[in-house]
């Protein structure tokens, strides 16, 4: 297909066709930035640029896959094959794999995921006899991550008085020592954590000019999506690689920068023009994703931010429905509102589940939504929870596979040295850990030399340890000839891991066994796909993929489902109908991000991202009270609700259906309250101060919200919910006479399939369909 240029507007076309040199496309949400990047790559290839020379960096691997698919449609499958596309982490993990020995790491280095890193830090904090309340492993990891993303090595840390002072002031004077131990232990284990993948790439490119030269030559064209969320470490990598040809194209939207808390630096986009000479700047202003109402509402919100680049977005799309705002009593009520609204929309407009997304500020909010969706039998999928690869049974299996490639991997070894049980207890492990630290060896190396190291272990224990080493070595020998799938099967058979799970006999055990089976299927799938693409199908590559997989990548699902995710995860995605729940002060904006103007501005950008995910309809909801940290607190509606220009919003309230005997009018679940009660008016001339708001127990009704009615969510059952039977004849106001063919669902969801006299078969929700039995 070659008419891709025709699928672009004038400004997009200019950006796609632009000649070489540094360029930045800066534009609002939904204006086709990702599309331009995709088509630009295809166009470069059409112009004769070898795909081997193109590097594209995306925010998720899923986005990379979708882009590649689109490019393949334009230039052909085999042409697109060599393109390097993916997240920073996955692309540079691959580069490191072939270069890591220069840095003293094995080529089969392990990638520690967050769980591994937290476990390692827990051990270190314990070994150092530090207070676990002061040194919370997750927080410590966050701090270390900040250092690494700013390229502060252990040595740099110790020579930076400000950092030392900051950690001392925050009651963690031992941070430096923990950081050093953590880095040493990762190095000894031949492991890199997520941040190392960027930090070590920087080290590689700085210390080895020939390596840098090689990749500069290779990546003649570099393209980066979502550039506003790159951190310093990523920024430096891109700069270094693009230094020779300066064919660097970045796209982004400063209004969607939402990862400052993870070190993203909005300045990267703002300073791009300073970094390169003769930068070509492109602006895209037409939004193709959302209705006029959504685009304008989002504009009116982001207006409130002081620091932003000047740009506007507009759309030719339909005006669309108003943004609906719903006040609910509690989080449970909120969940029921979401589920009912989805159900209603589906019934009315024949929509499938995958047209809906529910977005929230914090993962914990998903529970109430899930409960309500389950009750209504609506299929959903949560993104960002415990991913498949983090389940215990899966991590255990993977730990064996990791050990085969890298026996020094300490976290993998600790997971499985005594699982399934082999009689190697905590005391033995403590002795081994102490010896490993003293000798500066890995635990595996200590066990290999158990006869030489004086550890005061009895012969029985020594034998068990020897057996374990032998087991791993036998796998290593087999791995020389077997493929990834065969070796995984062998591991499961020899370790009797599945048998160990099964012996529980519980339903959970059965599902765990199924998960392990699914992992095997996944490996088989991986091998087939890699073969097809003529790419490396080794166990090592599989393990890299797994370590960097997020469940956004796991989309080979059978059924359409409602997507549930945090707003952060939703970046770059789009859905026809979007619910943004928990629109309350201290939740959104988050209580932790209200101390400075810039924190509140980042929360506002997050709200902008959320609104602009929607194509047709946005629902916003807030609860009057909700359980937080185990206490029921009163909530105040989010300031962001007031910030949406009032002409685009509409307060809705569930109306109690009127079941008048002979009324044939279809009733709405959501009536509209009179106009005077719906406004979120700002007092004229007064702008809310952006100053921090103290976290307080808010009174339930405040300001303009006082005028709102108390709403009642419970909807009484319809008169036919229990009476109607298959075979009954009924009369409907609009469709006339019909026969009931089937009844399904329960309680409030009961639906009847009815064949009407005009031949049409309809499924009607009994609660609302006004039917009369005849
Ligand atoms: P975000 O800021 O959310 O990442 P974006 O600027 O990357 O958004 P895209 O995702 O590329 O925007 O485009 C938004 C939607 O508009 C997509 O569905 C895309 O296919 C569509 N689109 C973009 N440009 C055009 C066009 N010229 N004609 C028709 N549809 C378009
Ligand atoms: Mg995009």
Residue-wise pLDDT for 351-363, tens only, equals 999 999 999 999 8
Note whether 178 and 124 are within 8 A (CB).
yes
pLDDT on residue 741: 87
Nearest atom in ligand 1 to the alpha carbon of residue 613 is: 3
**pLDDT given at position 769:** 66
Q: Pick the residue whose CA is nearest to atom 24 on ligand 1.
A: 32
Q: Residue 276 in contact with residue 238, Cβ under 8 Å?
A: no
Q: Whose CA is nearest to atom 4 of ligand 1?
A: 572
Range 184-193 burial, b when 16+ CB lie within 10 A, else e: ebbbbbbbbb
Residue 35 alpha carbon, nearest atom of ligand 1: 11
Bridge partners for 380 per DSSP: 562
For the CA of 63, the nearest ligand:
2
* Both structure tokens of 112: 């520690």
Probe residue for ligand 1, chosen from 288, 610, 615 as the CB with the greatest number of ligand atoms within 8 Å: 288
Atom number in ligand 1 closest to CA 28? 2
Residues with CB under 6 A from ligand 1: 7-9, 12, 27, 29-35, 253, 256, 288-289, 572, 574, 612
683 confidence band (pLDDT: 50, 70, 90): very low
Expressed in angstroms and rounded, the spacing between residue 607 Cα and the centre of ligand 2 is 16
What was the pLDDT predicted at 551?
60
Stated as kind and residue range, the H or E segment containing 286 is: strand 286-287
**What distance in Å separates the CA atoms of residue 56 and residue 41, rounded to the nearest whole number?**
8
The pLDDT of residue 581 is 98
- Is the model's pLDDT at 26 over the cut of 60? yes
Residue 399 belongs to what H/E stretch?
helix 392-405
For residue 739, name the pLDDT band (cuts at 50, 70, 90): confident
Q: Is the pLDDT of residue 691 over 50?
A: no
Q: Give, using CA atoms, the residue closest to atom 31 of ligand 1.
A: 288
750-766 b/e with 16+ CB inside 10 Å = b?
bbbbbbbeeeeeeebbb
Known binding-site residues for ATP equal 27-34
CA separation for the pair 200, 222 (Å, rounded)? 20
- Minimum mean pLDDT among 102-111, 227-236, 752-761: which range? 752-761
Where does 463-574 show beta strands of DSSP type E?
562-566
Residue 191 in tokens: 């492991």
Catalytic residues: 33-34, 225-226, 256, 613
Closest CA to 105 of 245, 238, 203: 203
Q: Which ligand 1 atom lies nearest to the CA of residue 253?
A: 2
Any idea what the Cα angle at residue 689 is, between residues 685 and 694, rounded to 5°?
Answer: 145
State how far the Cα of 303 lies from the Cα of 642, in Å rounded to an integer. Answer: 13
Give the confidence band of 147 by pLDDT, cuts at 50, 70, 90: very high
The atom of ligand 1 lying closest to the CA of 31 is: 6
Nearest C-alpha to atom 11 of ligand 1 is from which residue? Answer: 32
What per-residue confidence (pLDDT) applies to 654? 59
Ligand with the closest atom to the CA of 38: 1
Q: Which of 26, 30, 223 to mutate to test the pocket of ligand 1 (most atoms within 8 A of CB)?
A: 30
Nearest to 149, CA basis, from 81, 220, 88, 78: 88
382 phi/psi in degrees, rounded to 5: -95, 130
How far apart (Å, rounded) are the C-alpha atoms in residues 78 and 70?
13
Q: Of all protein residues, whose CA lies closest to atom 17 belonging to ligand 1?
A: 289
**Which tens digit of pLDDT belongs to each residue from 257-292?**
888 877 888 888 888 989 998 999 999 999 999 999
Burial class (CB in 10 A: 0-12, 13-18, 19+), 169: exposed
- Choose one of 35, 316, 609 to mutate for the ligand 1 pocket test, by most ligand atoms within 8 angstroms of C-beta: 35
Residues contacting 42, CB < 8 A, separation 6+: 4, 70, 71, 74, 75
Distance, CA of 665 to CA of 668 (rounded, Å) = 9
Binning pLDDT at 50, 70 and 90, where does residue 662 land? very low
Residue of 3, 12, 34 to test ligand 1 pocket, by largest number of atoms within 8 Å of CB = 34
3-state secondary structure 30-50: CCCHHHHHHHHHHHHHHCCCC
Question: What average pLDDT does the segment 511-540 reach?
Answer: 88
pLDDT score of 711: 28
Residue nearest to atom 15 of ligand 1 (CA): 289
Residue 477's pLDDT band, with cuts at 50, 70 and 90, is: very high
Query: Binding site membership: which residues?
Result: 27-34
Go through the chain and tell me how many residues it has. 774
What pLDDT band is residue 747 in, cutting at 50, 70 and 90?
Answer: low
Quote the tokens at residue 620: 């916003």
| C-alpha of residue 549 to centroid of ligand 1, in Å | 25
Residue minimizing CA distance to atom 21 of ligand 1: 288
pLDDT of 478 above 50: yes
- Ligand minimally distant from the alpha carbon of residue 573: 1
The tokens for 313 are 């977005």
- Report the Cα 339 to chain-centroid distance in Å: 22
Q: Quick one: which ligand is closest to 7's CA?
A: 1
Paired sense of beta strands 631-634 and 625-628, if any: antiparallel
What ranges in 587-715 are assigned the alpha helix state H?
597-611, 639-643
Q: State the virtual CA torsion across 91, 83, 251, 213 in degrees, nearest 10.
A: 60
Q: Which atom of ligand 1 is nearest to the CA of 9?
A: 27
The rounded Å distance from CA 32 to ligand 1 centre is 3
462-465: long-range contacts, CB 8 A cutoff, minimum separation 24:
464/422, 464/423, 464/424, 465/424, 465/428
Nearest atom of ligand 1 to the alpha carbon of 12: 27
Residue with the larger pLDDT of the pair 100 and 682 = 100
Ligand 1 centroid, distance to 350 Cα (angstroms): 25
Contacts by 537-543, CB closer than 8 A, 24 or more apart:
537/483, 537/484, 538/484, 539/401, 539/404, 539/405, 539/479, 539/483, 539/484, 539/487, 540/97, 540/107, 540/108, 540/405, 542/484, 543/110, 543/111, 543/398, 543/401, 543/402, 543/405
Residue nearest to atom 9 of ligand 1 (CA): 32
The alpha carbon of 277 and the centre of ligand 2 are apart by a number of angstroms equal to 26
Place of tokens 């270390």: 144
Considering every ligand atom, which ligand is closest to the CA of 612?
A: 1
CA distance 345 to 265: 40
Residue-level pLDDT at 767: 60
Are the C-beta atoms of 155 and 148 separated by less than 8 Å?
A: no
Output the pLDDT for position 504.
79
Q: Choose among 241, 314, 325, 227: nearest CA to 269.
A: 227
Ligand 1: distance of its center to the CA of 568 in Å?
A: 19
Give first-to-last CA distance, the chain, whole Å.
58
Q: What is the mean pLDDT of the chain?
A: 86
What is residue 549's predicted lDDT score, i.e. its pLDDT?
79
User: What strands, in cross-sheet order, belong to the sheet with 280-284?
Assistant: 84-86, 54-57, 221-224, 248-252, 23-27, 280-284
Give the H or E element holding residue 111: strand 110-112
The residue whose C-alpha atom lies closest to atom 26 belonging to ligand 1 is 8
Element (H, E) at 299: helix 292-302
Tokens of 79: 């042409």
Confidence of residue 553 (pLDDT cuts 50, 70, 90): low
Question: Poorest-confidence range of 395-404, 595-604, 657-666?
Answer: 657-666
User: 631 φ, ψ to 5°?
Assistant: -120, 145
**C-alpha to C-alpha distance for 745 and 751, rounded to whole angstroms:** 6
Residue 388 near residue 423 (C-beta atoms within 8 A): no
CB 111 within 8 A of CB 190: no
Please name which ligand lies nearest the alpha carbon of 311.
Answer: 1
Inform me whether the pLDDT recorded for 722 exceeds 60. Answer: no
Task: For CA atoms 204, 210, 213, 214, give the dihedral sign.
Answer: negative
Q: Measure the CA angle with vertex 531, ends 525 and 532; round to 5°.
A: 90
Q: Does residue 655 carry a pLDDT above 90?
A: no
Question: ipTM above 0.95?
Answer: yes
**CA pair distance 194, 408, nearest whole angstrom:** 18
Q: What is the pLDDT of residue 2?
A: 65
Q: Give 749-771 pLDDT, tens digit per residue.
A: 677 888 887 777 777 767 656 67
**Per-residue confidence (pLDDT) for residue 552, from 0 to 100:** 62
Top-confidence residue, 746 or 675: 746
- pLDDT, residue 693, reads 40
DSSP, collapsed to helix, strand or coil, labels residue 78 as: helix
Cα torsion 115, 121, 125, 131: sign: negative
Atom 16 of ligand 1, nearest CA residue: 288
DSSP state string for 306-362: SS------EE-S---PPEEEEEESSHHHHHHHHHHHHHHHHHHH---GGGEEEEESS
Q: Is the pLDDT of residue 666 over 50?
A: no
Q: Tell me the CA–centroid distance for residue 335 and ligand 1, in Å.
A: 31
* CA of 186 relative to ligand 2 center, distance in Å: 35
Mean pLDDT of 591-601: 89
Which of the residue ranges 259-273, 340-354, 526-540, 718-732 would you say has the lowest mean pLDDT?
718-732
Parallel/antiparallel/unpaired status of strands 670-672 and 649-654 = antiparallel
For residue 729, the surrounding DSSP H or E stretch is strand 729-732
Interval between CA 33 and ligand 1 midpoint (Å): 6
pLDDT value at residue 555: 59
pLDDT of residue 768: 58
- Give distance in angstroms: CA of 59 to centre of ligand 2: 9
- 287-345 pLDDT, tens per residue? 999 999 999 999 999 999 987 777 788 999 999 999 999 999 999 999 999 999 999 99
Q: Which atom of ligand 1 is nearest to the CA of 572?
A: 4
- State what percent of residues in the chain have pLDDT above 70: 88
Predicted pLDDT at 697? 35
Q: Which of 16, 32, 228 to mutate to test the pocket of ligand 1 (most atoms within 8 A of CB)?
A: 32
């Amino acid at each position: 297909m070659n008419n891709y240029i025709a699928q672009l507007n004038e400004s997009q076309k200019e950006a796609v066709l632009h000649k070489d040199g540094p360029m930045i496309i800066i534009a609002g949400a939904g204006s086709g930035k990702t599309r331009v990047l995709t088509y630009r790559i295809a166009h470069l290839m059409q112009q004769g640029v070898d795909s081997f020379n193109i590097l594209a960096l995306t925010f998720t691997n899923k986005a990379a896959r979708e882009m590649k698919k689109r490019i393949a449609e334009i230039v052909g499958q085999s042409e697109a094959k060599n393109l390097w596309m993916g997240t920073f982490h996955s692309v540079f993990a691959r580069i490191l794999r072939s270069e890591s020995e220069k840095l003293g790491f094995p080529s089969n280095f392990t990638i520690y995921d967050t769980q591994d890193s937290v476990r390692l830090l827990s051990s270190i904090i314990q070994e150092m006899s530090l207070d676990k309340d002061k040194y919370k492993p997750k927080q410590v990891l966050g701090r270390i991550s900040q250092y690494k993303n700013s390229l502060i090595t252990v040595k740099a840390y110790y020579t930076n008085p400000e950092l030392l002072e900051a950690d001392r002031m925050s009651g963690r004077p031992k941070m430096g020592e923990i950081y050093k131990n953590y880095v040493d232990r990762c190095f000894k284990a031949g492991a890199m954590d997520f941040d190392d993948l960027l930090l070590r790439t920087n080290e590689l490119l700085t210390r080895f000019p020939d390596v840098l030269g090689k990749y500069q030559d290779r990546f003649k064209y570099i393209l980066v999506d979502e550039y506003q969320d790159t951190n310093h470490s990523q920024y430096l990598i891109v700069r270094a690689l693009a230094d020779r040809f300066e064919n660097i194209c970045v796209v982004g939207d400063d209004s969607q920068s939402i990862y400052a808390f993870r070190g993203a630096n909005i300045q990267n986009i703002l300073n791009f023009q300073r970094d390169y000479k003769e930068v070509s700047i492109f602006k895209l202003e037409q939004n193709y994703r959302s209705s006029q109402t959504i685009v304008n509402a989002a504009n009116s919100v982001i207006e409130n931010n002081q620091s932003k680049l000047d740009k506007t977005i507009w759309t030719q799309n339909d005006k669309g429905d108003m943004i609906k705002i719903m006040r609910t009593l509690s989080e449970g009520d909120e969940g029921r509102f979401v589920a009912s609204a989805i159900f209603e929309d589906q019934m009315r407009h024949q929509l499938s589940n995958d047209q809906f997304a529910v977005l929230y500020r914090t993962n914990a909010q998903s529970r109430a939504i899930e409960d309500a969706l389950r009750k209504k039998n609506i299929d959903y999928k949560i993104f960002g929870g415990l991913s498949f690869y983090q389940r215990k049974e899966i991590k255990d299996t993977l730990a064996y596979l990791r050990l085969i490639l890298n026996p020094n991997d300490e976290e993998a070894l600790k997971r499985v040295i005594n699982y399934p049980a082999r009689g190697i207890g905590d005391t033995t492990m403590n002795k081994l850990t102490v010896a490993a630290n003293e000798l500066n060896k890995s635990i595996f190396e200590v066990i290999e030399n158990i006869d030489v190291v004086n550890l005061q272990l009895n012969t029985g224990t020594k034998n068990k340890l020897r057996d374990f080493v032998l087991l791993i070595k036998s796998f290593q020998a087999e791995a020389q000839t077997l493929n990834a799938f065969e070796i995984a099967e062998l591991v499961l058979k020899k370790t009797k891991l599945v048998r160990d799970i099964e012996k529980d006999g519980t339903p959970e055990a059965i599902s765990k066994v199924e998960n392990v089976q699914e992992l095997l299927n996944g490996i088989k799938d991986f091998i087939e796909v890699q073969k097809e693409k003529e790419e490396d199908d080794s166990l090592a590559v599989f393990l890299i993929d797994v370590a960097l997989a997020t469940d956004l990548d796991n989309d080979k699902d059978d059924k359409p489902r409602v997507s549930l995710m945090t707003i952060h995860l939703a970046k770059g995605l789009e859905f026809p109908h979007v619910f943004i729940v928990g629109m309350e002060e201290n939740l959104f904006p988050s209580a932790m991000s209200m101390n400075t103007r810039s924190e509140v501005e980042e929360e506002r950008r997050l709200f902008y991202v959320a609104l602009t995910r929607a194509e047709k309809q946005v629902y916003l909801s807030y609860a009057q009270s909700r359980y937080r940290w185990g206490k029921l607190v009163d909530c105040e509606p989010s300031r962001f609700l007031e910030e949406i220009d009032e002409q685009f919003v509409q307060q809705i309230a569930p109306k109690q259906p009127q079941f008048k005997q002979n009324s044939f009018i279809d009733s709405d679940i959501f009536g509209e309250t009179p106009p005077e009660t719906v406004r979120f008016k700002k007092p004229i001339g007064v702008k809310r101060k952006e100053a921090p708001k103290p976290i307080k127990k808010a009174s339930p009704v405040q300001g303009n919200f006082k005028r709102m009615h108390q709403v009642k969510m419970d909807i009484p059952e319809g008169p036919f919910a229990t009476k109607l039977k298959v075979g009954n004849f009924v009369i409907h106001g609009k469709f006339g006479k019909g026969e009931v063919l089937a009844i399904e669902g329960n309680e409030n969801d009961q639906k009847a399939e009815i064949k009407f006299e005009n031949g049409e078969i309809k499924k009607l929700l009994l609660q609302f369909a006004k039917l009369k039995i005849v």
